[in-house]
A and B are shown apart, each in its own frame.
Chain A
């Protein structure tokens, strides 16, 4: 009984300490990898009203709440650039999937399907991911579907950047030639480039445009699709194309040059074979640095040292994972990349500021004055997957690190004299 009472008091204190949004917090004695510099420095971070107000190397920083982290590593919250967070709860259970459309293709937005109560959010957050880009499943079309950026703060009032990236794919399909896909991609791009503001003024004008374009009518495009193609060029929207084979990468680079695309290539297992072209044309890559499997005939050059070679060539890289749900394992991939020659500072950038830069995520991805305070205090080295965060701040608010998984763990390791269903 007494034990229960103290517990209640503690949880009350914790609760009140987290809701003082206006107060200032100082994270003191931090070994800061800020996502900008290659190496770390010992410093102190002042968080005020959700933002990083000051980053100082002198310890004179004052605040309402001072957290001495005693030299522990502090990084920006990691940003996972390729996830299904919020739109897929259980992979093989279609009733929990919202990543596909039967009607829309190019203009399909998953933004409104995002579930802020998904168990994947606390799970990835408690492992250091503070925000993520959620992408729909690739369609058969070479360009199709919009991704959105989400903060993983579990708030019903979703903090996001909707439809900020368009996706597509190029490579082996098993049914038709990649040449057909490339031609179709170019036809779509050329149609998109031809659009101007008055074309998309109303659904009536859009219908006319579609009727007059052989490719738009062949693809049965809808108004949403056409508007997104206009945005692609008007807003210089990032376009992520999933592709692996070296020759496909070169074809994509040609399209980038011809159509002045904001191109990002994802996968890119054969990037090492055309590394100079990628570097010369400033194409950022999303790679899975732990994947060295020649998993298809498009990925024969898969090699564990890709990240290190990209760094040497000066190519901006970001990381993804090959299995769903545990998107935080981009940390493990980064660790493996470092073990195989990537510098530590570049690995941290790949997990933070590179994603923010490439996808125009403003004021996030690095620890600097004026940015939102998305900050993680690590118990140990963040690139060792065995170490986890001690504290995670999103928009300057310390978040709870309980997950359904830790609840289940506690249920089966504590209070065992009760039947399991009567435990916490």
Chain B
């Protein structure tokens, strides 16, 4: 009996393996923890709050939310009285894996700062899957994160969206079918990095010229591709297929609308210019990142359907981050009758563990600025809005029947600094449980201080 089982599993593994394209996700959830949470307080991530409500997760999906759900006997019952449940937190700006801990040269792989345009590099090819930061972020409720290359380059390369289920290959962590993204960067960083080497760009006008030149090349490449693909099979045999160009392949993916643009940009005037560049070449900017001055052009962002991924309060570390306003997130959120798309991001290994508190600070500042914003709405800033910006909202980012059961249970209202994550489920499988000590441990953490213990085991 046992032998047969092993045989079957090998066969099925082989079949699956052959189905995957290169670099494609091989993600598999952990064993499902089919559960009914009784009497929970819920922020659903879509702007709603439900008090003393039950929620059932089964076979990886959310299957019911409502009062006094019966729930089959086969379900694990979790008494969530007095607890809060939210969707899994999503960080749209992380460098986990590409700037892992410890922060050392040998694994600092986030910036291919050798040329101002490196659209050909993919962040996923830099990720160190044993980064101990993943597990720490999981204890902060983060179930999904989007890793970008750094901001040294005008066009830095492709980003990747991953499930926070630490495994020892990146393919087994990649979010299935999530669109690829492209990191672009405005302002001080590219002009400093390349200007210091006496090469272009050394000014902001050099930055803009750099993007435009790249997009012109991409347009040419795309039209050659389109031309070839439009040919009949016979005509194709008589002509050469355009040689693949990794850099232009990425840029053409943006022009085709397959790859989402995530643009590091602080200053309002520069963001407005980047919107013009996008119009000139007919591509869409999905989100501006950091965007310390987004509040100055909040209406423009809302009109163009561009999200702003922001810190609650970080400022002053460079000139373009000087005009910080704590209500930035709220102002973006409330633009054009509340049609703005605001995201609270971390870009930081500590911040990613406390995105709920960062959202809480941003909410409080918004209330002080005179806006009326509910906590349920503010929860969107770290759940559904980043899910939309990562192109995965149809699968996660809110607690809706049929969606992936990415669920966090908090000890108390998550808009408090005292709230602790008690349980995290990714695709309906328990990934972290505070009370039982069930949690992932990276290889790095094993036996490194005391051979008999994990790194922070007492």
Contact = CB atoms under 8 A, between A and B. Distances in A.
B216 to A, nearest CB: 32
Nearest to B362: A386
A98 interface: no
Interface stretch (B10-18, B112-120, B161-169, B315-323): B315-323
26 contacts: A89-B316, A90-B322, A91-B317, A91-B318, A92-B188, A290-B350, A293-B133, A294-B101, A294-B102, A297-B102, A297-B104, A300-B102, A302-B456, A324-B317, A325-B314, A325-B315, A335-B357, A335-B418, A336-B354, A338-B418, A384-B360, A384-B418, A386-B360, A386-B364, A405-B325, A413-B370
Interface of B: 101-104, 132-133, 136, 188, 295-296, 298, 313-319, 322-327, 331, 348-350, 353-354, 357, 360-361, 363-365, 368-370, 415-420, 448-449, 455-456, 458
Contacts of A119: 316
A299 B418 CA distance: 25
Contacts of B370: 413
B319 A385 contact: no
A323 B317 contact: yes
B43 to A, nearest CB: 16
Given A293-B133, A297-B104, A303-B456, 10 more contacts: A90-B318, A90-B322, A93-B318, A301-B456, A336-B417, A385-B360, A409-B331, A412-B296, A412-B298, A420-B296
Contacts of B323: 408
A273 B136 CA distance: 20
Contact of B350 (A293, A388, A406, A409): A293
Contacts of A332: 354, 357, 417
Given A90-B316, A413-B331, A295 B417 contact: no
Contact of A325 (B295, B317, B420): B317
A323 B102 contact: no
Contact of B415 (A324, A340, A386): A386
Given A295-B101, A335-B418, A300 B316 contact: no
A383 interface: yes
Contacts of A302: 456
Interface in A263-318: 272-273, 290-297, 299-303
Nearest to B353: A292
Interface in A52-94: 89-93
A239 to B, nearest CB: 27
Contacts of B449: 273, 300-301
A383 B357 CA distance: 12
A208 B188 CA distance: 50
A226 interface: no
Contact of B455 (A290, A301, A420): A301
Nearest to A127: B313
B97 to A, nearest CB: 14
A120 interface: yes
Given A295-B102, A405-B326, A300 B448 contact: yes
Most chain B CB within a 10 A radius of its CB, from A290, A297, A413: A413
The 6 nearest A-B residue pairs measured at CB: A335-B417, A386-B364, A92-B318, A325-B316, A91-B317, A409-B325
A215 B103 CA distance: 34
Contacts of B419: 339
A89 B354 CA distance: 27
Interface residues of A, number: 47
A326 B313 CA distance: 8
Contacts of A92: 188, 317-319
Contacts of A339: 417-420
A324 B316 contact: yes
A213 interface: no
A291 B348 CA distance: 11
B103 A295 contact: yes
Contact of B416 (A322, A325, A384, A388): A384
Contacts of A90: 316-319, 322
A112 B286 CA distance: 48
A293 B315 contact: no
Interface in A344-381: none
Nearest to B325: A409
A232 to B, nearest CB: 32
Most chain B CB within a 10 A radius of its CB, from A322, A339, A409: A409
B103 A120 contact: no
Nearest to A89: B316
Contacts of A91: 316-318
Contacts of A299: 102
A205 interface: no
Most chain A CB within a 10 A radius of its CB, from B325, B354, B365: B325
A388 B368 CA distance: 10
Contacts of B458: 272
A214 interface: no
A89 B315 CA distance: 11
Nearest to B298: A412
B325 A408 contact: yes
A413 B350 CA distance: 31
A89 B326 CA distance: 18
B456 A386 contact: no
A164 to B, nearest CB: 25
Given A294-B455, A300-B448, A409-B369, A323 B314 contact: yes
B314 A290 contact: no
B458 to A, nearest CB: 8
Contacts of A335: 357, 417-418
Contacts of B317: 90-92, 323-325
A386 B344 CA distance: 15
Contacts of B448: 300
Contacts of B361: 385-386
A119 B325 CA distance: 13
A89 B321 CA distance: 11
B130 to A, nearest CB: 12
A387 interface: yes
A328 to B, nearest CB: 9
Contacts of B455: 294, 300-301
B101 A293 contact: yes
A339 B326 CA distance: 24
A58 B103 CA distance: 55
A420 B298 CA distance: 13
A322 B349 CA distance: 11
B310 to A, nearest CB: 14
Contacts of B348: 323
Most chain B CB within a 10 A radius of its CB, from A301, A336, A386: A386
Contacts of B296: 412, 420
Nearest to A386: B364
Most chain A CB within a 10 A radius of its CB, from B102, B104, B363: B102
A326 B314 contact: yes
A300 B313 CA distance: 28
Contacts of B354: 290, 332, 336
A93 B321 CA distance: 11
